[in-house]
């Protein structure tokens, strides 16, 4: 068939628009973070952000998440119920930087903070640590303004290293890793936490000198 039915074409067009909006949201928030980092460097001669990663959730991952919520795989459900379609990960050196960056993000007038999850003060049972913020950013299209959700994860380099390994293990074993591996991961998470504390303490001491 050379031409798709009108309804199917409309669905494809809607999907392209949604993808455009989320990609634009990643650019908007990413640029804001880079500007805040540059400003912090100018004022304090220090960069709290080591680097920034961004990603758009794949259609397969979106459908899988909707199914886990017992929801039909529609664009409406995707936009309404999947909060991490657009994700930005901010990697910094020290735990103190995490809260400093979160405060700077919260101070942006055109960003609305919808939710915060502090997995640093309250780590997950697996040992996972990170600071999550769900924000919306206005995207100005030619004929309308759309508020797009972006999940921001802020963590130290050490936390990110641990989370990357944990993700690989969870993916490989489909969430059912052997108990001895889970136990080892928890022990590694404690070591990462201790390392972050010691590095922060050392940095504070150097700053005083």
Q: What is the DSSP letter of 126?
A: T
34 classed as catalytic = no
Q: If residue 147 lies in a helix (H) or strand (E), which one and from where to where?
A: strand 145-156
The token duo for 127 is 């040992």
Residue 162 burial by Cβ neighbours in a 10 Å radius (0-12, 13-18, 19+): buried
Per DSSP, which regions of 16-130 are E strands? Answer: 49-56, 86-92, 112-118
Q: Which residues pair with 51 in a beta bridge?
A: 91
Spatial distance between the Cα atoms of 37 and 48, rounded to a whole number of angstroms? 7
CA distances from 93 to 39, 90, 142, 154 (A): 17, 10, 40, 11
Provide the 3-class DSSP secondary structure of residue 2.
coil
Question: Residues 151, 166, 179, 205: which is the catalytic one?
Answer: 151
Q: Residue 85: which H helix or E strand, with range?
A: none
Which positions are annotated as active-site residues? 151
């Amino acid at each position: 068939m050379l031409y798709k039915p009108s309804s199917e074409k409309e669905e494809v067009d809607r999907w392209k628009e949604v993808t455009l909006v989320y990609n634009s949201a990643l650019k908007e928030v990413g640029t804001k973070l880079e500007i805040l980092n540059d400003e912090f460097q100018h004022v304090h001669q220090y960069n709290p952000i080591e680097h920034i990663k961004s990603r758009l959730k794949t259609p397969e991952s979106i459908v899988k998440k909707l199914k886990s919520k017992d929801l039909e795989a529609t664009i409406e459900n995707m936009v309404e119920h999947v909060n991490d379609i657009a994700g930005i990960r901010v990697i910094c050196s020290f735990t103190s930087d995490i809260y400093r960056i979160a405060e700077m993000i919260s101070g942006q007038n055109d960003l609305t903070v919808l939710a915060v999850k502090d997995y640093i003060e309250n780590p997950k049972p697996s040992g996972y640590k990170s600071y999550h913020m769900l924000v919306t950013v206005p995207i100005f299209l030619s004929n309308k303004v759309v508020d797009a959700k972006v999940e921001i994860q802020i963590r130290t380099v050490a936390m990110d290293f641990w989370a990357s390994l944990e993700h690989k293990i969870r993916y490989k074993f489909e969430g059912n890793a052997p108990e001895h591996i889970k136990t080892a991961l928890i022990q590694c998470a404690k070591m990462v936490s201790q390392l972050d504390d010691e590095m922060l303490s050392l940095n504070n001491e150097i700053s005083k000198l």
